[in-house]
Amino acid sequence: MKNIVLGVTGSIAAYRAADIANSLTKSGHSVSVVMTEAATRFVCPLTFQTLTKNRVYTDMFELVEYREVKHVSLAKRADLLLIAPATANIIGKLASGIADDMLSAVAMAACGAPVLICPAMNTAMYENPVTQGNIKKLESLGYRFVEPRESVLACGDLGRGAMAELGDIIAAAESLL
């Protein structure tokens, strides 16, 4: 059994992260979900808690129940940090070293674990030179990506930006474990 931290960000593709959590849990892994505030507007934390049988983390500043700093302890025990879906916002934060919420703080503390990022956003956002520069920077630092696919997006556009298929994400995660 491996410990996986699944980061979920505020994309319409957040509902697909439930399938990722469910699949990894059924494969025998322990999945701890960290959601950004925006992600909780798309999918309820209770969904992930029910599927993983683990607590879901959303707030870096909630009261500490134990003698541990939660974002650091999650990162230390992670065998993999998987961010799916990953918005342009979280990719930019990671590339800039910003740790201003629970997920970005866990990612900054996850120095020993591989990080797998699955972008999901509008084509124009994905192809934006700033986003592409951030992806290249993260790749140069050892972060791994599962490229988005071309599809009709939530906005109605046809283009690259839809989160990769479940099977491709799970295969990439398993290969890093």
- Whole-angstrom distance, CA of residue 64 vs CA of residue 78: 20
Distances (CA, A) of 172 to 20, 101, 119, 122: 12, 26, 14, 23
What confidence tens digit (pLDDT) does each residue in 106-163 have?
Answer: 998 877 899 999 999 999 999 999 999 999 999 999 999 999 998 877 777 777 889 9
CATH number attached to the domain at 3-176: 3.40.50.1950
Per-residue pLDDT for 65 more than 70? no
- Torsion angle of the four alpha carbons 18, 26, 58, 146, in this order, in degrees rounded to the nearest 10: -60
**Which pTM was predicted?**
0.92
Alpha helices in the chain (DSSP H): 14-26, 45-52, 70-77, 88-96, 102-109, 123-127, 129-140, 166-176
At residue 32, the 3 state secondary structure works out as strand
**What's the token pair of residue 145?**
């990506």
At residue 39, the 3 state secondary structure works out as helix
Q: Let me know if 111 is a catalytic residue.
A: no
pLDDT band of residue 74 (cuts 50, 70, 90) is confident
Q: Where are the domains of the chain?
A: 3-176
Per-residue pLDDT for 80 more than 80? yes
- Catalytic, out of 44, 111, 118, 155: 155
